[in-house]
A = this chain, B = another copy of it.
Amino acid sequence: MGATQKSIAAELGISRQLVGFALSNHPGVSAETRQRVLTAAERLGYDAFANRDARALIAKRYGRRVRTGIVAILLPPEFEVPLRDIPNFSQILDGIEREADRRSLDVLLCRTRKGQLPRMIQSQYVDGVACISTTPETMKMLNAFELPVVNLGRQTPGARWICPDDRAGIALTVKHLVDLGHRRFAYVGHDAKDKNGNERLTAYKSALKAASIPFSENLIEATVVSQTLDAGAAAMKQLLSRDASFQKTGAPSFTALVAYNDMLGMGAMRQLQECGIRIPEDVSVTGYGDISTQYALRPLLTTITFSRDELGTRAITLLSESDGPLKPGGEKLPVTLKIRESSCAAAAHASK
């Protein structure tokens, strides 16, 4: 099927090596021979890619890397996050796939298996790796390879990452709530070990400060690592159990709730509703990440959104334009506030 240098050489009655030189634009080949080789190669359907085993082998011989035209998407381990729970995964993938297609790259989906990096990555069979919200530990492992690697949606010091602009996002949500007249805030879903977690909480605090709203540590609730609806509900349960106002009157001491992300926000919302608290009339809730529309929960979350497409395309662009490791650091994507059904003016609450 696929032609080889040998078969071309046999066709033209010259040596295999000469064909190799001609195909790789080596100097010292007569123009006439080169032309003959090229046309014969065309005619016989010679495809360097088809014989990539040999090329890979020879590349190893000379300590070079060979481009495979494959970029790996490293998914979080399955038991942690099913694909459909990755925020708008198909949008990210859409961006990735479109840009990869434009650059004639293929996309390989793979996962870490029991702490081990995928063999396709370990054996350097990809041109780059885009990670979906991967842990700093895994990023560190990836740094050992001579590959461009970028983490999407999660800040990881010492590695390259692309994230939504958390500071701006939280500032937008708090401003939105303040503009609606809210003065008593709570925050749910902080993870002190997480870089994004710290950034969002810091932004939250400084946004409150900017609006001269008092900040109470008591109204922050942490969650376990698993970011599920149940985790959000549990966190809210905790928060309410410490809330003197809620214990006495059934009305929480806050009218605005900022959640670390949509999933936790929805969980917290569910818990609030189960306690007879109406949303948004009693408490306005905001999320982050804009995944709530996938779920049939009401009300839809007011949240922060950003272009998942751009996240994907930017990642592929970054990877394909470098063939060595990327220098550590991050870049932030612009965010917008999506006002939906879970937030309303605090006045409604006052007049109840």
With A53-B57, A123-B52 as given contacts, are A82 and B108 in contact (CB-CB < 8 Å)?
no
Copies of this chain, complex-wide, total: 2
Alpha-carbon distance A315/B277, docked complex (angstroms): 46
By the criterion CB–CB under 8 Å, are A106 and B110 in contact? Answer: yes
Q: Tell me the smallest distance from the CB of A248 to a CB of chain B, in Å.
A: 41
Q: Is the CB of A84 within 8 A of B94?
A: yes
In the complex, are the beta carbons of B119 and A113 less than 8 A apart?
Answer: no
User: When chains A and B are docked, how far (Å) is the Cα of A35 from the Cα of B91?
Assistant: 51
**Complex alpha-carbon distance, A78 and B103, angstroms:** 13
Cβ of A97 and Cβ of B123 under 8 Å apart? no
Contacts of A52 in B (CB 8 A): 53, 123
Interface check A69, CB cutoff 8 A: yes
- Roughly how many angstroms separate A70 CA and B294 CA in the complex, as a whole number? 30
| A209 CB within 8 Å of chain B | no
Kindly identify, within residues 63 to 120 of chain A, every residue whose CB is under 8 Å from any CB belonging to chain B.
69-70, 75, 78, 82-84, 89-91, 93-94, 97-98, 101, 104, 106-111, 113, 118-120
- The smallest beta-carbon distance between A143 and chain B, in angstroms, is 15
Closest chain B residue to A59 by CB distance? Answer: B53
Q: Does A157 contact B (CB under 8 A)?
A: no
Q: Shortest Cβ distance from A14 into chain B, in angstroms?
A: 23
| Residues of chain B with a CB closer than 8 A to A296's CB | 293
8 Å CB contacts to B: which residues of A160-207? none
Chain B nearest CB from A237 CB (Å) reads: 29
Give A73's nearest chain B residue, CB to CB.
B109
CB of A50 closer than 8 Å to a CB of B: yes
Q: Closest B-chain residue to A98, C-beta based?
A: B78
Asked if A247 is an interface residue, CB under 8 A from chain B, the answer is: no
Cβ of B90 and Cβ of A84 under 8 Å apart? yes
A36 at the interface (CB under 8 A from B): no
Residue A42 CB within 8 A of the other chain? no
- Nearest CB of chain B from residue A256's CB, rounded to whole Å: 26
A40 interface contact, C-beta 8 A:
no
Residues of B within 8 A of A101 (CB): 78, 111, 113
Q: For the complex, is A2 an interface residue (Cβ under 8 Å from B)?
A: yes
Instruction: Say if the beta carbon of A56 comes within 8 Å of chain B.
Output: yes
Q: How far is the CA of A123 from the CA of B78 in the complex (A)?
A: 30
Q: Which residues of A contact B (CB under 8 A)?
A: 2, 47, 49-50, 52-54, 56-57, 60, 69-70, 75, 78, 82-84, 89-91, 93-94, 97-98, 101, 104, 106-111, 113, 118-120, 122-123, 293-294, 296
A-B contact pairs, 21 of them (CB 8 A): A47-B119, A49-B123, A50-B119, A53-B54, A53-B56, A53-B57, A70-B120, A75-B97, A78-B101, A83-B90, A84-B94, A90-B90, A90-B93, A97-B109, A97-B111, A101-B113, A106-B108, A106-B110, A107-B108, A107-B110, A109-B109
What are the nearest 10 A-B pairs in CB distance?
Answer: A53-B56, A107-B109, A83-B94, A50-B123, A90-B90, A53-B53, A53-B57, A106-B110, A49-B119, A108-B108
